Amino acid sequence: METEVRHLTQRELANRWNKSEATIERYRSDGVGPKYLKIGGAVRYRLEDIEQFERACLHFSPDEAAYDDSVRFRDSQSNPRPQVSDAGVSQSTS
């Protein structure tokens, strides 16, 4: 039995994170955030990729990340894990 893959639109992801669609667009443009699909000009996010990204953003404290080391981001060798906050997106220095 095949499992149905759930996809979210940019608007649905913005609602999930309580962010504006412009912020989600900026995250994508800056190369941070979950992986996405672009099919015929339409952008979709797989729910499994969103959940993986959210797990990677978990922290126990400001200095102690709770992420799973098996989580990988685009070009993870040269780019540190992204940090997403209300102030915007920045690259982690740890």
pLDDT in tens, 20-31: 999 999 999 999
Per-residue pLDDT of the chain (94 residues; tens, 9 = 90+): 677 889 999 999 999 999 999 999 999 999 999 999 999 999 999 999 999 999 999 988 877 776 654 444 444 444 445 556 555 555 454 4
How is the chain split among helix, strand and coil, in percent rounded to 5?
A: 30, 25, 45
Tell me the H-state helices in the chain. 10-17, 21-30, 47-56
Rounded distance, CA 49 to CA 33, Å?
Answer: 9
Instruction: Give tens-digit pLDDT for 5-20.
Output: 899 999 999 999 999 9
